[in-house]
Structure 1
Amino acid sequence: MLGGSAERDIAARACEARVMAPNGWYFCLKHRRVEAPGEVCRALNRLGPYSDRASAENALELAHRRTEQADESDRRWNDPSEGGDL
């Protein structure tokens, strides 16, 4: 019989394996590197999945671009002169 901590660790890995796309590429924020399918860090530390290595390599740029787009959308939503609600 395993101890509580070991059992939780095994359960967490099994859960993460089910959530992870089996053939997806990820970008690890902790190690600042692309990780191949099956070689990924915790979900908390990664972006993805991406369909290929090149997409994962551009993960930070893509996240930055999406954040800028969301910020612009929020600005328009909140600006009455732009037809926003507030």
Structure 2
Amino acid sequence: MEGLGFLPESVALGRFWVHSDGMNDSGPGDGAYFWCLRHNRVETGDDKCPAQYRLGPCPSAEDATHALETVAKRNAAWDAEDARWTGEQS
């Protein structure tokens, strides 16, 4: 690995978790639920819209029902952290 611009010990030798692992269609088993942004309903299994129109996977239908609220809360927290990071907030 000489001349590649990194030390051999810095290369991961095994599989490690990446963000996209948690974002695939399979979700947490057969019980994955999604919130459809087109139809404003919970979808699961074969009865679901394409990924571009849904949020999830969620572990339950109840969680999927509140997916937009979860997104709003996370966005607010990230916006606050961005503001803190850039010094826009005291």
Query: Which interval holds the TM-score relative to the shorter structure?
Result: 0.5 to 0.7
Work out whether residues 42 and 64 of structure 2, in 8 Å CA contact, stay in contact via their aligned partners in 1.
yes
Structure 2 CA distance, aligned partners of 1:67 and 1:80? Answer: 17
What is the aligned-residue identity percentage? 33
Aligned to 2:51: 43
Aligned to 2:69: 61
Structure 1 CA distance, aligned partners of 2:86 and 2:60? Answer: 37
Matched, 1:20 2:28: no
2:39 to 31, 56, 63: 31
Q: Which piece of structure 1 moves more, 71-80 or 19-28?
A: 19-28
TM-score between both structures, scaled by the size of structure 1 = 0.67
Aligned to 2:17: none
Change over 3 Å in CA distance of 1:81–1:37 after alignment to 2: closer
Work out whether residues 23 and 38 of structure 1, in 8 Å CA contact, stay in contact via their aligned partners in 2.
no
Change over 3 Å in CA distance of 1:80–1:43 after alignment to 2: closer
TM-superposed deviation, 1:81: 7.3
TM-score between both structures, scaled by the size of structure 2 = 0.64
TM-superposed deviation, 1:37: 2.7
Aligned to 2:79: 71
Uncovered stretches (5+) of structure 1, i.e. residues with no partner = 1-18
Which of structure 1's runs of 4+ aligned residues deviate more than 4 A?
none
